[in-house]
Amino acid sequence: MTTRRICAIAAGITWFGLIFGLVLTIFNVYPPVEIPPNSLGDNAPGLAGLAGRLADSASYFTNLSNLLVAIVLTMLARNPDRRGMLWSTLRMDSLVMISITGLIYAIVLAPDAQVEGLDIIVNAIKHYIVPVMTVFLWLLVGPRRQLSLVSVFTALVIPIGWAALTLIRGHFIEAYPYGFLNVIAYGLPAVLLNIVGVAALGVVLGLLFWAVDLFLGRRAGKSLS
């Protein structure tokens, strides 16, 4: 099976998780759960709460990282031989952000998560299947040498931009997508420290991806010589 076909199948799985989750959000078929104070999700049922549900859904890092993976995999399915600084940044972002999604959910959020009904399917795809699949396929088929040392740091722009918008929106609506970003509960200094910690994790993961890509690329080059 070619790299393009593998990426197309993986993109389809990722798009399915995003679209299925969007359908559940639009029709508000999530089972009722207890919403912690100052958290997203306190919207009216039916059409009255549709705009709020959509805005909340777009505010989750999980959805942003899955969307980026879906776009990147779709682009790879069309042309796996992409190059350039912007592409290198997007490719690095897709790997780092989805890895952070999987790690933070499994370690921090999963123990307190209230997942029921059809959301079990969406949750499994977005938080477990897509993170593991994305990294595994990158290790398996690459493509190689699309990551750079510079992209480790330029890839921080999207996550930091998301964090800034999240804090600004949270200031006005008094609700946040994740507990560790809850300024009302923990204060701005603690939340900023949490963001710095996640950004540092992103840099470490980026350096790891870059180093592994460099190693595998060189080994592949030697095997062809």
pLDDT digits (tens, 9 = 90+) for 54-91: 999 999 999 999 999 999 999 999 999 999 999 999 99
pLDDT digits (tens, 9 = 90+) for 191-222: 999 999 999 999 999 999 999 999 998 876 66
The structural domain count of the chain equals: 1
3-state secondary structure of 144: coil
pLDDT grade, residue 165 (50/70/90)? very high
Q: Which domain holds residue 61?
A: 3-224
pTM here is 0.94
Are the C-beta atoms of residues 67 and 126 closer than 8 Å to each other?
no
* The pLDDT value given to residue 223: 55
Helix 3-27 / helix 50-58 crossing angle, nearest 10 deg = 150
CA 156/CA 177 separation, integer angstroms = 19
Per-residue tokens: 91: 């490719």
What's the rounded mean pLDDT across residues 5-30? 94
Are the C-beta atoms of residues 167 and 181 closer than 8 Å to each other?
yes
**Which of 9-23, 108-122, 125-139, 171-185 is predicted with the least confidence, judged by mean pLDDT?**
108-122
CA 94 to chain centre: 7
CA distance between the termini of the chain:
24
Question: What average pLDDT is seen over the chain?
Answer: 93
